[in-house]
Amino acid sequence: MGLNLIMLGPPGAGKGTQAERFARARGIPRISTGDMLREAVKAGTSVGLRAKAIMESGALVSDDVIIEIVRERLANKDAAAGFVLDGFPRTVAQAQALDAMINGGDPLIVVDIVVPEVELVRRLGSRMVCKDCGTNANAGTSPDSACQRCGGRLEQRADDDVSVVRERLKVYHRSTEPLVEYYRTRPTFRTVDGAQPQDQVAADLAAAIESAGRVGASR
């Protein structure tokens, strides 16, 4: 049975780090919205060209374009044994479209990584990102350190100013939190305390996914 997993959580919850770590351990692709957009644009598909035009105009990519990009990405052979979605779905409409895509397939496991807002603000305010490749540095990394992936210079993310962070969290609560309510009643929905050290979060995440997977397999 394949493993279809969604990681939910606010900015700074660590879902990207945990998604990449879990996907690597299980040998399935971690698929992020940003990755999917870049791949579609690079491949020059019809939907990729639409997305490129929208992004170059400075507008947000609409649900229908994102949904079509996800549909194309999940049709790739490497996703046949499962996937970890990071950054999708972001709206209930996207979640409903995903349900339709995998209808009749392997069950969908949803994990919400929960972190208190005061901790999110602290994390995001001190988060460093590589100027060259865009990789987020691990929490607590010194600004003088080099990027672990490419050796590039680290800098604070432009969107991690405290006032910007608080606004991003407001947007999350308003537009993305309804997803938690959409999925909460499913037997394959789990929550994990993301305020713990990374290794403990990873262990709790693996246990939650195993538990949800057993429930999904019995249905």
Query: pLDDT tens for residues 159-191?
Result: 556 777 788 788 888 877 899 999 999 999 999
Which residue bears the tokens 């939650």? 208
Query: Quick one: fold of 3-29+76-212?
Result: Rossmann fold (3.40.50)
User: Average model confidence (pLDDT) for the chain?
Assistant: 86
Phi, psi of 194 (to 5 degrees): -90, 5
**Res 167: pLDDT:** 81
Q: How far apart are the first and last CA of the chain?
A: 13
DSSP string over 87-156 = S---SHHHHHHHHHHTTTSSPEEEEEEE--HHHHHHHHHT-EEETTT-PBPPTT--TTSBPTTT--BEEE
Choose among 133, 164, 157: nearest CA to 146.
Answer: 133
- For residue 5, give the amino acid letter: L
Indicate if the pLDDT at residue 211 is higher than 90. yes
Joined together, the tokens standing for residue 74 give: 């999940």
Angle between helices 198-218 and 15-26 (to 10 degrees): 60
User: What are the tens digits of pLDDT across the range 34-62?
Assistant: 777 878 888 888 888 888 887 777 666 78
Q: Is the peptide bond before 107 cis (omega within 30 degrees of 0)?
A: no
pLDDT of 54 reads 78
| Burial profile 118-130: b = 16 or more Cβ within 10 angstroms, e = fewer | eebbbbbeebbbb
Q: Quick one: pLDDT band at residue 157, thresholds 50, 70, 90?
A: low
Q: Which residues contact 84 (CB under 8 A, 6 or more apart)?
A: 5, 6, 7, 19, 22, 23, 26, 28, 29, 30, 31
Active site residues: 15, 90, 127, 157, 168
Residues 6+ apart with CB under 8 A from 6: 84, 85, 88, 89, 98, 108, 109, 110, 111, 183
Q: For 187-201, what is the mean pLDDT?
A: 95
> Would you state the pLDDT for residue 67?
92
Amino acid at 206: A
Tell how strand 128-130 and strand 154-156 pair up.
Answer: antiparallel
